[in-house]
Amino acid sequence: MTSLRTAALVVGVCVGMCGGAAAQPPVSSPPSTVTIGAPPVMSQAGLLPDGTLYSKLIRVQPFIVGERPERVTRPLVLPLLYVSFAGLQAFDGYSTSYGINHGAVESNVLLRAAVDHPASLWAVKGAAAVTSIWASERLWRRGRRGEAIAVMVAANAVMAAVAVNNFEATRTR
C-alpha cells in the first residue's frame, strides 16, 4: 500500500508541474538572468493560488540561471605529491625486500611481521599509500586545501627520509 501512495504522489507532482507550466503566458524573449527563489505562498493542501500542486519534497536553494559556480582547480603540486609518494612507497618496499634478502633487519617494529612475506609487505605499502592520498583528497574536497598539501608534503618528507635510510642500509650489503 505504501508503494501505491508513493506512486500516486509522484504522478500528482508530475501532473502538477506540467499543469503549472502550461498555464504560464508565452514569453517573447528570455531574460538574460532569472532569479529563482522560494515558491509563492501556498495553502495547507500544498496548492499554489492558481491550483497547481506544489511539492515539498525538494528544497532548492536560490540560484541565478546563466551563472556557473566558481570551480577551484587543483594545483599541479598535489598530483605530483601523490605520484612522488607512491614512488617513495614503492622504493621503500623494494629496498626493504632487497635488504631482508641480503641479511638486513627491519627496524620498524610494526612491519617486522610483514617483511617475511612479500605479498603482505606490498599490501601494507599499498595501503599506506592509498590511505595517505585518500586523507589528503578528503581534506581537499572539504575546502581545507592548505592542509591537504601539507599532509602530502609531510608524508613525502617522512618517506624520503625512510628511502635515504634504506638506501644507506642496502648500499653496504
The whole-number pLDDT of residue 52 equals 66
Domain spans of the chain, in order of start: 2-22+33-64, 77-171
Task: Provide the whole-model pTM.
Answer: 0.57
C-alpha cell at 44: 495547507
- Give ∠ CA 131-88-170 in degrees, rounded to 5: 130
The whole-number pLDDT of residue 58 equals 54
Distance CA 6, CA 63 (A): 29
The whole-number pLDDT of residue 106 equals 87
Task: Please answer whether residues 50 and 24 qualify as being in contact, where contact means their C-beta atoms are separated by less than 8 angstroms.
Answer: no
Using 70 as the pLDDT threshold, list the residues of the chain that sit under it.
Answer: 1-49, 51-72, 173
pLDDT digits (tens, 9 = 90+) for 4-27: 454 444 444 444 444 444 444 444
Distance CA 19, CA 15 (A): 6
The whole-number pLDDT of residue 10 equals 46
- Give ∠ CA 149-95-134 in degrees, rounded to 5: 25
